[in-house]
A and B are shown apart, each in its own frame.
Chain A
Amino acid sequence: MAEISETQVAATAPTRPVKRIRWDTIGDHAVLIAGALLMLVPVYMVFATSSWDAITIHREGMQFGFGEDMGVNYNAALFEYGGFTDSVNGVTMLANSMILGLGFAIGKIIVGMMAAYAIVYFRLRFATLAFWMIFTTLLLPLEVRILPSYEVITAMNLGNTYTGLIVPLIASATATFFFRQYFRSVPEELIEAARIDGAGPVKFFIDILVPLSKTMIAAMFIIMFVFGWNQYLWPTLITTDESLFTLVRGIRQIIQSYADGSETPDYGQAAALAIIAMTPPVLIVVFFQNWFVKGLTESDK
């Protein structure tokens, strides 16, 4: 069979030059593989290291091969209670990260979509003022106004609460801008048709605009969830109660035990916790990469 098809190919294209090795294509792949390794290897090493006992890691550094302590380390990272008050384990932190990620993403999308709808679709005298008020929030990331934000939360008695953890993070306008941009690209005929059919503003929003924005909502959700999950500074400041720690916040605790140097830190367990902290957002980004890329490249323009 193979012989026949080869002769056929040769017969139909007798003048085609002999296929030579394309060095530049190989070069392209070599660069890309090198780049992919640069991204992969450090995380692979953390993963491999998470399967070793603390003493080996303490002596030899991070590992390339796999050891025998994977079960032990992940079990400890997930279920062993730690911290000063022994009130937090990996599962609790996982749940808290999930609450922060979901709460932030959903809250931000709802609040942002509503505001964008009001700005784009209604004749409001103070629409411009509202727009500028919201717009200004882009000027001042939370990191910059961190100390006064902390004081405000303390004054409102919202320290160590989920509300205090989530709501202040919503106080920026990225989602509003994204939806404003998107709504403006929606054809005007749609709303005219909806009005002829007698649809009011609520009906138009829920029955037409929201379903139309489905892909955009999904893209926004992925970006916002990852952003919320990965928050570090704010949870570090306002959660002193360990039962409210997120995974990323827990990482700081590990680093601290590194810094103290008082005891041999449980490196294997630390690596396991790092892997647990990165898995959900990485999976979401990889599995929904088309939506993620769409959201990322279209939102900020």
Chain B
Amino acid sequence: MKRAAFGHISFPILLLLPQLVIIAIFFYWPAGYALQSSFYLEDPFGFGSTFVGMDNYTRLASSSSYMDAAWFTLIFTSLVTFFALAIALLLAVKADKVIRGARTYRTLLMWVYAIAPPVAGLIGVMLFDQSRGNITQLLGMMGIEYRLGVNYWDTASAMITVSIWKQIPVNFIFFLSGLQAIPQSVREAAMIDNRSGTRRFWDITFPLLAPTGFFLLIINITYSLFDTFGIVDTIVKGQPGNNPMTLVYRVFVDGFRGQDLGGSSAQSVVLMVLVLILTIVQFRFLERRIHYT
């Protein structure tokens, strides 16, 4: 709050009202509903529901297919986060170094941000298509048999590749901005102290980029968990079958295909706790960071 604030009562309430009404109806109501139905077992034909306590949660914990999805999500998230960050960092360091064409490279590397995940997924489906895909044919020439939608890990690798591709631009923009915020004096001092570019990067640039990197780590985990929904859905062509699934995709599949309202809601609550943890970590970190900037 500002020191010289206005003292009105009704006007600020009026200002807050639209936001509060919208989040009450479209956020709190559904969220409460999810929490509530996670304790009930709903009859699939709509003939009422029974209170089952923690049953939906214990059912999840003992479901091997849910645990498979959880493991897959962990692997998927780690790989997407690592490669999307590493490739973007490499490109940002190079773009920051070149004097000529830095802006052109920025334009060329950032625009994929604007492509919708399902459109990216469609491109993936066409490139990795079992019989006609260009990448499939390329792999075939190298003697690798690639079967999208049939082989679990083949499908997974397509999901991971497309998800990394889609996320590189965001990371690139943040890393490049972070690098360009390093003062010239620090760069010059580092130049005098150390002639080796690699050493300079790991000793000076990398620690200075660490706050950006940590922030991006959270952003990338969130992206892998939630925003890849469109990519996963298009690559499995809306037919999950035995294909790999992320946890968020499973919430959708169990809820809308399986009509398992209680189970789907319990999964929502589990994910909610996961996001809560991520947010707390992020905010604790950000608070600390404010002190030294």
Name the B residues within 8 Å of A172 (CB-CB): 23, 27
Which residues from chain A contact B112 at a C-beta distance below 8 Å?
A: 39, 43
Binds B, one of A4-12, A71-79, A86-94, A116-124: A116-124
Q: Which residues 241-283 of A have a CB within 8 angstroms of B?
A: 248, 251-252, 254-256, 258-259, 267, 270-271, 274, 277-278, 281-282
On whether the beta carbons of A146 and B129 are closer than 8 Å, the reply is: no
- Tell yes or no: A217 within 8 A of B by CB: no
A133 CB within 8 Å of chain B:
yes
Pick from B57-65, B152-160, B201-209, B229-237 the stretch touching chain A: B229-237
Q: Report if B170 contacts A (CB, 8 A).
A: yes
Q: A58-B132, A137-B27, A188-B3 are in contact. Are A36 and B105 (CB under 8 A)?
A: yes
Interface hits, A6-51 → B, CB 8 Å: 24-25, 28-29, 31-32, 35-36, 38-40, 42-43, 45-46, 49
* CB <8 Å contact, B115 and A281: yes
A248 and B111 form a contact (CB under 8 A): no
Additional 10 contacts, C-beta under 8 A, given A147-B268, A148-B265: A39-B112, A43-B115, A121-B12, A124-B13, A143-B252, A147-B255, A167-B26, A191-B2, A233-B229, A274-B119
Given contacts A139-B272, A140-B27, A256-B237, contact A36 B132 (CB under 8 A): no
Q: Is the CB of B239 within 8 A of A259?
A: yes
A144-178: contact bitstring with B at CB < 8 Å (1 yes, 0 no)? 11111101100010000000000110111100100
State whether A152 touches B33 (Cβ < 8 A).
Answer: yes
| Cross-chain contact B18 with A111 (CB below 8 angstroms) | yes
Chain B nearest CB: distance from A163 CB in Å? 11
A270 touches B3 (CB 8 A): no
* Contact-size category for A: 35 or more
Contacting residues, chain B, for A278 (C-beta < 8 A): 114-116, 119
Please determine whether B19 and A112 come into contact, CB atoms closer than 8 angstroms.
yes
Determine the distance from Cα of A202 to Cα of B12 in the docked complex, in whole angstroms: 10
Q: Which residues of B contact A122 (CB under 8 A)?
A: 1, 5-8, 11-12
Contact assessment for B30 and A149 in the assembled complex, using a CB-CB cutoff below 8 Å: yes
Contact A195 B177 (CB under 8 A): no
- Report A-chain residues with C-beta under 8 Å of the C-beta of B69: none
Tell yes or no: B151 within 8 A of A by CB. Answer: no
The complex places the Cα of A175 from the Cα of B273 at a distance, in Å, of 23
Asked whether A188 lies within 8 Å of B19 as measured between CB atoms, the reply is: no
Is A201 engaged at the interface, CB distance under 8 Å to the other chain? yes
Chain B residue with Cβ nearest A267: B126
B86 to chain A, nearest CB (A): 12
Does more than half of chain A's interface fall in helix, strand or loop, or is it mixed? Answer: helix
CA distance A138 to B27 in the complex (A): 10
Please tell me if the beta carbons of A255 and B237 are within 8 angstroms of each other in the complex: yes
Secondary structure of the B contact surface, majority rule: helix
A-B contact pairs, 18 of them (CB 8 A): A29-B94, A32-B105, A61-B132, A61-B137, A115-B15, A118-B15, A121-B12, A130-B20, A133-B23, A139-B275, A144-B251, A145-B268, A171-B27, A191-B5, A201-B11, A232-B116, A251-B118, A297-B173
B189 at the interface (CB under 8 A from A): no
Asked if A127 is at the interface of the complex by the 8 Å CB criterion, the answer is yes
Chain B hits for A57, CB < 8 A: 132
- Does A60 sit within 8 A of B, measured CB to CB? yes
Chain A: minimal CB distance from B165 (Å) = 7
A214: CB under 8 A from chain B? no
With beta carbons under 8 angstroms apart, the residue of A256, A270, A274, A296 that contacts B238 is A256
CA distance A241 to B243 in the complex (A): 29
B125 an interface residue at 8 Å Cβ cutoff?
yes
Q: Which residues of B lie under 8 Å from residue A24 when comparing CB positions? A: 197
Q: Which residues of A contact B186 (CB under 8 A)?
A: none
**Set of chain A residues within 8 Å of B4, measured between Cβ atoms:** 188, 191-192, 195
Q: Judge whether A36 and B12 touch: CB under 8 Å.
A: no
Interface contact B111-A149, CB-CB below 8 Å: no
Residue in B12, B25, B105, B122 whose beta carbon sits within 8 Å of that of A255 in the complex? B122
Chain B residues, CB < 8 A from A204: 6
Q: How far is the CA of A156 from the CA of B80 in the complex (A)?
A: 39
* Residues of B contacting A156 in the complex (Cβ-Cβ under 8 angstroms): 25
- B136-148 interface bits toward A, Cβ cutoff 8 Å, 1 = contact, 0 = none: 0100000000000
- In chain B, residues 1-46, which have Cβ atoms closer than 8 Å to a Cβ of chain A? 1-9, 11-13, 15-16, 18-20, 22-23, 25-27, 29-31, 33-34, 37
